Amino acid sequence: MPQFESYDGTTIAYRVLGDGPPLVCLPGGPGRAAEYLGNLGGLDQARQLVLPDPRGVGASADPVDPATFRADRLVDDVESVRAHLGVERMDLLAHSAGAILATLYAAAYPQRLSRLLLITPGLGPVGVDVAEEEFTALIENRAAQPWYPAARAALAKLESGDQTLPTFFAARPLFYGRWDEAAEAHSRLGVAERHAAHRHGFFDGLELDVPVVKAGLAKLSAPVLLYAGDEDPLVTPAMINEAAASFGDPTVLVQPGAGHFPWIDDGASFSAAVGAFLSQPG
């Protein structure tokens, strides 16, 4: 795997898939290796996907300073990726918790982005969180599934503080539009005990100054895509519509039948929709 040294000397490794203009893709989790993004439903047919593993995750090295796992400190790693690629402005895609980092980067470096794509994104930086009743309703939509009782019990354990990997895996069916062998295999990609330091450090001491973030985003001239699945209890269509005002005039897309990983639920629909956005003038 190619690699480079970030701003503080930490080695960051990344995968490259496909040909065409580069699209930097930040994984979520937090603390999940980028392999779970795969080729994003075939998006590598039109773009070169640059898939960095976060520090302390996957093939990237552990940092000397654990405080650098915090989301606002990781902004410097994103800027180091851009500098390593040698581009003045980059197209940046981010999934889930990775979108928290991408949003903070966009607010700090608005001039460095040519496009920003936030896929089922964490929206805390713009002050948007899921309503408990909406989350519960979407979870309970799956109540007829045979796996639901075990998954629901695992979710309750997660919410009570049990962050062990067996509990994490047991709750995964709730976050896909469909749960089958492919989804189950995907749910285990990029997850490892070693990543716990990054996962816990990402939010440790993080204070999101929403007005400051929004002021930074007001300087962002790059086109923005906000993308949700209509079956996703973590990031609902209502949430991305609420967040839209913070990004000026974004494109908002909702994929029918999709959960938190829309390229797994219907890769062709996902790559077609995202590819169409990327093909528009920047």
Does a structural domain hold residue 138?
Answer: no
pLDDT at residue 221 greater than cutoff 90 = yes
In single-letter form, the type of residue at position 99 comes to: A
pLDDT at residue 207 greater than cutoff 70 = yes
What's the mean pLDDT in 2-6?
A: 97
Q: Supply the CATH number for residue 43's domain.
A: 3.40.50.1820
For the stretch 79-136, pLDDT in tens is 999 999 999 999 999 999 999 999 999 999 999 999 999 999 999 999 999 889 999 9
Task: Name the H helices within the chain.
Answer: 71-85, 97-108, 132-140, 148-159, 165-171, 181-187, 196-201, 210-217, 237-243, 262-265, 267-279
Which element (helix H / strand E) includes 99? Answer: helix 97-108
Does a structural domain hold residue 182?
Answer: no
Q: How many CB atoms lie within 10 A of CB 242?
A: 15
Does a structural domain hold residue 157?
Answer: no
State how many domains the chain has: 1
| pLDDT at residue 282, as a whole number | 64
Domain span holding position 20: 3-132+195-279
What's the mean pLDDT in 239-247?
A: 96
Q: Supply angle C-alpha 216, 28, 168, rounded to 5.
A: 140
Q: What is the pTM of this model?
A: 0.97
pLDDT at residue 78 greater than cutoff 80 = yes
Does a structural domain hold residue 43?
Answer: yes
| pLDDT at residue 270, as a whole number | 98
pLDDT at residue 76 greater than cutoff 70 = yes
| pLDDT at residue 163, as a whole number | 85
* Contact of 260 with 146, CB cutoff 8 Å: no
For the stretch 12-29, pLDDT in tens is 999 999 999 999 999 999
| pLDDT at residue 131, as a whole number | 87
280: pLDDT confidence band, cut at 50, 70 and 90?
confident
In single-letter form, the type of residue at position 36 comes to: Y
Does a structural domain hold residue 185?
Answer: no
How far, CA to CA in Å, does 193 sit from each of 31, 54, 198? 10, 15, 10
Does a structural domain hold residue 225?
Answer: yes
* Contact of 178 with 265, CB cutoff 8 Å: yes
Does a structural domain hold residue 34?
Answer: yes
In single-letter form, the type of residue at position 102 comes to: A
What's the mean pLDDT in 159-184?
A: 94
Q: Two tokens at 160?
A: 């009570």
